[in-house]
Amino acid sequence: MPPERQDVLRELAERVRANNDEFTLLESLDSGKPLDVAQGEIERAISYFEYYAGLCRSIEGKQFPYDADALIYTRREPYGVVGQIIPWNFPFVMVSYKLGPALATGNTVVLKPAEQTPLTALRFARELQEVVPDGVVNVVSGFGEEAGDPLTSHQEVRKVAFTGSTEVGHQIMRNAANRTAPVTLELGGKSPFIVFPDADIDVAVESVAGVMYYNTGQSCDAPSRVFVHEDVREEFMDAFLERTQEEVVGDPLVEGTTMGPLVSEAQYEKVTGYLDIGREEGATVAAGGGVPEGDTYGNGWYVEPTVFSEASNDMRVAQDEIFGPVETVITWSDYDEMIRQANDTEYGLAAGMATENASLAHETAAELEAGNVWVNKYATLPPGVPFGGYKQSGIGREHTRETLLAYTRCKTVDIATDRSPM
């Protein structure tokens, strides 16, 4: 019942809060996040468990007036067994994004963490074991072929939720289609950020850099294409390159580090490969472009924060999701052409802009093909605000009350109420 679900989610939030330091350390060790970044994400996960606890009692149906001889109403009912697969870039935050709405609506869950970063999910399973009834939440680790594929293909899994690459999302959608199971998919992105001539340059720079270098650029909504108007290009580039030099790449367990290593050797090979591709395509390396040198970096998958300038939107570094701290800067002069290029990508997860003109901001937000658009800020995602993409970036919305609908089925009940006269 809703009150019991609410108590469970609140208790889970409190248990994570009580063990915050342990979860923070595990997240940092597992993913390479600096300790203060990992701690912020653990606290964010707590807030999402609390948010969904608050929604437990808000799940309701509707009554439809028709005539005096009928009572028609709807019920929201759980699917039953839900399969959830979370990615390696935000391991524990994604646990809260997925488990919160599933438990709030009365489903049971089989949760598969990413094989690269399973530690916090497995540690959380110890708390789940003490709080939720047996069998309600099952954490199953493993590789995609041995765990993810069977989970998304199983006939008894009635709904699937996945965050990860677009390629894997396509396979999951095919698996679910064989039994017409609904899916929620949050996939890749190649998000534009537009700097208008009237922009506050300091705001624009921090809006981009604060997210582009966060988590070593391993964020699906990272503003990895910056469209800068020619009138402010020089001013923006000077400030952005100065801000890029402020990043401290190093051991994530050392205070002061702002960028740790990439999550794995495979990701390192991918990102450094794109550094070569950018040069081959003719983009100018304005900052970084390589691997930091020194004893500190000998045993980690480190790359420098990198800025490609003199780029065009048809280059692979402007079209492919690199998933690393690699920024591509494109200069524009014509508004309509800039909007066309900003939308000229298979993705549509997020976008941003910097402008002091409110009317222009509204107009541009309407023209951008993206599920989330930020103005004079970027990637703020408080609980309750919908998050999800257009086009190849996914299906459905997370983080919000609307998410509850994706974890419930609608049943209509129509009862005849006509009675014989006395």
In the chain, the N- to C-terminal Cα span, in Å, equals 39
- The residue written with tokens 């981009």 in the block is 208
d(CA 128, CA 198): 51
Residue type, 106: G
Provide DSSP, 42-86. Answer: HHHHHHHHHHHHHHGGG----EE---TTEEEEEEEEE-SEEEEE-
**The one-letter amino acid at 201:** I
C-alpha torsion angle, residues 293, 298, 302, 307 (rounded to 10): 10
Annotated active-site residue 14? The verdict is no
| DSSP for residue 146 | I
Q: Can you tell me the distance from the alpha carbon of 372 to that of 351, in angstroms, rounded to the nearest whole number?
A: 6
Taking CB atoms within 8 Å and a gap of at least 24, the contacts of 234-237 are: 235/201, 236/195, 236/199, 236/201, 236/204, 236/205, 237/286, 237/309, 237/329
- Is the Cα torsion angle 234, 237, 243, 244 positive or negative in sign? negative
Residue 186 appears among annotated catalytic residues: yes
Catalytic residue among 27, 41, 50, 186: 186
Tokens in use for 90?
């935000």
Distances (CA, A) of 92 to 20, 182, 250: 12, 24, 22
> Which amino acid belongs to residue 290?
G
Active-site annotation holder among 220, 247, 304, 369: 220
Neighbours of 323 (CB within 10 A): 24
Say how many C-beta atoms besides its own lie within 10 A of residue 298's C-beta.
8
| Structural contact between residues 149 and 115, judged by C-beta atoms closer than 8 angstroms | no
Closest by alpha carbon to 33, among 263, 222, 232?
263
Residues labelled as active-site residues: 186, 220
